[in-house]
Amino acid sequence: MNKRIQATIASVAMFTFPAIGKAEPSKPECIAPAQPGGGFDITCKLAQASLQNSGALKAPLRVSYMPGGIGAVAYNAIVGQRRAEAGTIIAFSAGSLLNIAQGKFGAYTEKDVRWVANIGTDYGAVVVQQDSVHKSLTELMAAIKADPTSVIIGAGGTIGSQDWMKAAMTARAAGIDYKTMRFVAFEGGGDCATALQGGHVHVCMNDVGDSQAAIDGGAPLKLLAIFSEQRLPGKLAEVPTAAEQGFDIKWPIARGFYVGPDVSDADYKWWADAFAMTMKSPDYAQLLQERNLFTLPMTAEETTAFVHSQVAAYKTLAADFGLTTK
């Protein structure tokens, strides 16, 4: 997967969006299964901008919000009541897949929806207030090791969520019993960032995309570490990786979309083709960069195979931390 993440979209001198069939939805909707401001919101708004810019969609893509269980409420609504809505795509992330692996989406598994596309990758990040006393991830973990009650860690989701997992993996790498962490669960990364700014938590185990977006918007926050294999480019180049600071942890976050299980083959293919063509458009790389995301283009069967392999890997990881898997 690293080679795919590092791949860049080739520049195209001239680009014309080809016809992709007659199944274009007249009232397209993207469901972000959390509150505004987090990674799901960024994913939907990337689709909103890119599909419109490329010409794939003539009608505007409406973004709606369905928070609950880091995607569980939306997943159950689509599979249970909205199975055949051809015009509705729902954002997912690595966190969604980790929760599916643990059975947190109820009776449903990764086989109960149709996986349309993966449109980019994000990375886990450790975020603190700009004037935090903790100047590095090393200092932060040393403080937790000295007194686990002295640092309140905020994250999107409860025990077993991807943000909790990032914290637990880092704690274990530091020789800390992760069960002693002071952990506060939020509905999403946006809520955690708000709590961090208010001083209600000392650190958020968030993602690069939504955290840097908040910083770009003037939030007095900073990134202590990024869970990437190597430093990220551009304005993120000054942020050290966790591995550089002694914690060999990588946490890439795939971001993409699915549709309901009864969406027709023609409608499913329309969305997959639309994303495939959009991700080849000359301005797509710029849209990713503006949202602090990176390339990982996949559609249709390739996305489905990727999702199934990730869920299997997350089951192994969750079991390693004593979490129930399904």
Structurally, the chain folds into a number of domains equal to 2
Closest CA to 183 of 195, 197, 198: 195
Predicted local confidence at residue 52, as pLDDT:
93
Half-sphere exposure of 163 (CA within 13 A, CB side): 29
Q: Are residues 130 and 72 in the same domain?
A: no
Q: 197, 215, 245 — which closes off a domain?
A: 245
Q: Are residues 116 and 153 in the same domain?
A: no
Residue 281 lies in a domain: yes
Q: 245, 262, 288 — which closes off a domain?
A: 245
Q: Are residues 198 and 311 in the same domain?
A: no
Q: How far is CA 213 from CA 44, 126, 219, in A?
A: 15, 14, 9
What angle, rounded to 10 degrees, do the helices at 39-54 and 208-216 form?
A: 80
Q: Are residues 220 and 152 in the same domain?
A: yes
Q: Are residues 67 and 143 in the same domain?
A: no
Instruction: Quote helix, strand, coil % in the chain, to nearest 5.
Output: 40, 20, 40
- From the CB of residue 97, how many other CB atoms can be counted at a distance below 10 Å? 25
Look up the domain containing 64 and give its range. 27-121+253-320
Residue 132 lies in a domain: yes
Residue 17 lies in a domain: no
Q: Are residues 97 and 32 in the same domain?
A: yes
- From the CB of residue 145, how many other CB atoms can be counted at a distance below 10 Å? 15
Predicted local confidence at residue 155, as pLDDT:
86
Q: Are residues 114 and 257 in the same domain?
A: yes
Predicted local confidence at residue 228, as pLDDT:
96
Q: Are residues 135 and 160 in the same domain?
A: yes
Q: 179, 214, 245 — which closes off a domain?
A: 245
Q: Are residues 105 and 149 in the same domain?
A: no
Q: Are residues 185 and 216 in the same domain?
A: yes
User: What residues contact residue 301 under an 8 Å CB cut-off, 6+ apart?
Assistant: none
Going from the first residue of the chain to its last (326 residues), give the mean pLDDT of each consecutive group of 10, the final group possibly shorter: 41 40 84 89 96 94 92 95 97 95 94 97 95 95 94 89 93 93 84 90 93 91 96 94 95 97 97 97 93 94 98 95 83
- 212: CATH: 3.40.190.10
- 275: CATH: 3.40.190.150
User: What residues contact residue 257 under an 8 Å CB cut-off, 6+ apart?
Assistant: 30, 43, 47, 89, 90, 91, 92, 115, 116, 117, 119, 271, 275
Residue-by-residue DSSP string for 123-144? EEEEEEETT-S--SHHHHHHHH
Q: Are residues 214 and 73 in the same domain?
A: no
DSSP reduced 3-state for 86: coil
Q: Are residues 170 and 214 in the same domain?
A: yes
Predicted local confidence at residue 22, as pLDDT:
58
